[in-house]
Amino acid sequence: MLYIKCPYCGMRSQNEFAYGGDASVKRPELNKDVSDKEWDDFVYNRKSPRGKHIELWHHVSGCRQWFKAQRDTATHEIFKTAMMNEEL
């Protein structure tokens, strides 16, 4: 069982959260020409590192806020969490 610290509600059990994937992926800017490669990287290609990973979580059975977390994908240790507009 993971214990995740929601930046709004504090420490809660994993059952209250839904995962949202890699938070480092950036959508290409809309007001410029976007190459197929950029779209491909945005939609499909992922680094999926072994070790520290910055990812999105959704406190879906709580305050319903999205937030970012830095977690180790091998040990599942969660180092820190932050609101969406904060830097990790």
Partner 1 sequence: MQKYSVFSLVKNAFSDHMNWEVAWKDPTPKKEYDVIIIGGGGHGLATAYYLAKEHNITNVAIIEKGWIGGGNVGRNTTIIRSNFMYDANGRFNEFGMELWRNLSQELNFNVMFSPRGIINLAHSDAQMNAYARRGNSMRLNGIDAVLLGREEVKKHIPMADFSDDVRFPIFGGLMQPSAGTARHDAVAWGYARQADSMGVDIIQHCEVEGFNIANGKITGVRTSKGEIKAKKVGLCVAGSTNILAEKLNMTLPIETHCLQACVSEPVKPLLDGVVTFGAGHFYISQSDKGEMVMGGDLDGYNSYAQRGNLPTIQHVLTGGLALFPFLSRLKMLRTWGGIMDMSMDGSPIIDKTHIDGLYLNCGWCYGGFKSTPVSGWTFAHTIAQDRPHDLNSELSLNRFSTGYLLDEKGIGTKTWIG
- Interface residues with partner 1 (CB under 8 A) are 1-2, 14-15, 18-19, 21-22, 36-37, 39-41, 43-50, 53, 55, 71, 73-76
What is the closest distance, in whole angstroms, from the C-beta atom of residue 29 to partner 1 in the complex? Answer: 19
- Answer whether 59's CB lies under 8 Å from 8's CB: yes
- Closer by beta carbon to partner 1, 1 or else 30: 1
- Closer by beta carbon to partner 1, 73 or else 86: 73
- Answer whether 59's CB lies under 8 Å from 83's CB: no
DSSP code, position 62: T
Q: Distance between CA atoms of 69 and 48, rounded to whole angstroms?
A: 15
Phi, psi of 40 (to 5 degrees): -60, -45
What is the closest distance, in whole angstroms, from the C-beta atom of residue 69 to partner 1 in the complex? Answer: 9
- Closer by beta carbon to partner 1, 8 or else 42: 42
